[in-house]
Amino acid sequence: MKQIPCSLTIAGTDPSGGAGIHADLKTFQELKSYGMSVITSVVAQNTTGVQDIHHVPLNMIEQQLDSVITDMPVHAFKTGMIANKDMMKMVVSKISKLNAPYVMDPVMVATSGDPLIEEEARDFLRRELLPLTTLVTPNIPEAEYLTGKNIETVDDMKQAAEHIVENFGAGAALVKGGHLKGEAIDFLYDGSSLHTFSAKRINTKNTHGTGCTYSAAITAYLSQGLPLNEAVKKAKHFVTKAIQYSFSLGSGSGPTNHWATRGAPSLD
């Protein structure tokens, strides 16, 4: 009998439901991958920003990982917010034993601009986690941090994608253009060729959790065995729809719509 594809996310929470673990699980569910999660930090946040952060004790993160890994199949996994170096070290020791595609969303700040990981963890992420990835998905500020270079044009984005693969050993890099003006354009460099994914920019402030949703969608498609290029193509389509049909909820940057594959939601 065919097995259901299974995806795991290792990340922080968002009680307002638009980002982090919540966005990931909703996306896995929508894209028909069985969703599992390991929580690294409990984050008090909403559409306006981050109010507080509580880190789950290290041994409890480790225990959650062991509970999943020793019992459940993992066909693909992603990491989001991993707040400090100790957590990263422990996560590395566990995930390096997993034989499945790994998508890293190198989360550093929330959509609101609030920091989500400690300064010294950024360097560790670049040195120790990047070489384990199948794909890393930085937005422009994250790609600027990783490469140490300013990104102002699409050419800068392409160079950044190549730089991250060539210099830090990421399996592939998808540099996302959500923070630039014009077309919502992303570049994927897979170590041999550069692929472009483009969509019309949607005029909305409701982009809370777009990065989480996008990387979770890529993970879900990889769990189903799709090649990377195809997984990104389908995930780009999904995140564009999720933004197109996003919700004006809360007083800040509203959440995307995780059941967007079904078109505009009927609210009857």
The residues carrying an active-site annotation are 176, 207, 209-212
Stretch that binds ligand HMH, among 10-18, 62-70, 223-231, 244-252 (CB under 6 A): 10-18
Which residue stretch of 12-20, 64-72, 225-233, 242-250 sits at the interface with ligand HMH (rule: CB under 6 A)? 12-20
Secondary structure class of 60 (helix, strand, coil):
helix
Which amino acid would we find at residue 259? W
Contact 181, 213 (CB under 8 A): no
Contact between 212 and ligand HMH (CB under 6 A)?
yes
Nearer to ligand ATP, 66 or 230 (CB): 230
Q: What is the 3-state secondary structure (H, E, C) of 145-199?
A: HHHCCCCCCHHHHHHHHHHHHHHHCCCCEEEECCCCCCCEEEEEECCCCEEEEEE
User: Is residue 176 a contact residue for ligand ATP (CB under 6 A)?
Assistant: yes
For ligand ATP, the closer of residues 6 and 211 by Cβ is: 211
Measured CA to CA in angstroms, residue 252 lies from 16, 83, 199, 205, 242 at distances of 11, 24, 24, 8, 17
Instruction: Identify the CA nearest to 170 among candidates 214, 212, 228, 238.
Output: 228
Rounded to the nearest 5 degrees, what angle is found at the Cα of 210, between the Cα atoms of 121 and 195?
85
Here's the x/- map for ligand ATP, 234-253, by CB under 6 A: it reads as --x--xx--x----------
The continuous run of DSSP H or E covering 7 comes out as strand 6-11
With contacts defined by CB under 6 A, name the span among 33-41, 61-69, 80-88, 209-217 that binds ligand ATP.
Answer: 209-217
19 makes contact with ligand HMH (CB under 6 A): yes
Q: Contact between 260 and ligand ATP (CB under 6 A)?
A: no
Residue of 40, 45, 139, 159 interacting with ligand ATP (CB under 6 A): 139
In angstroms, give the least distance from the CB of 187 to ligand ATP: 10
Residue 94 token pair: 């566990």
Strand 49-55, strand 102-104: pairing: unpaired
Residue 39's H or E segment, with its range, is strand 34-39
Residue 35 engages ligand HMH in binding (rule: CB under 6 A): no
Whole-angstrom distance, CA of residue 102 vs CA of residue 11: 13
- Contact between 53 and ligand ATP per CB under 6 A: no
How far apart are CB 241 and ligand ATP at their closest, in Å? 10
Q: Is 17 in the site for ligand HMH (CB under 6 A)?
A: no
Of all residues in the shown chain, the one whose CB is closest to ligand HMH is 20
The CA-CA-CA angle for residues 159, 122, 204, to 5°, reads 65
Question: Contact positions toward ligand ATP, by CB under 6 A?
Answer: 19, 111, 139, 176-179, 184, 186, 199, 201-202, 204, 207, 209-212, 214, 236, 239-240, 243
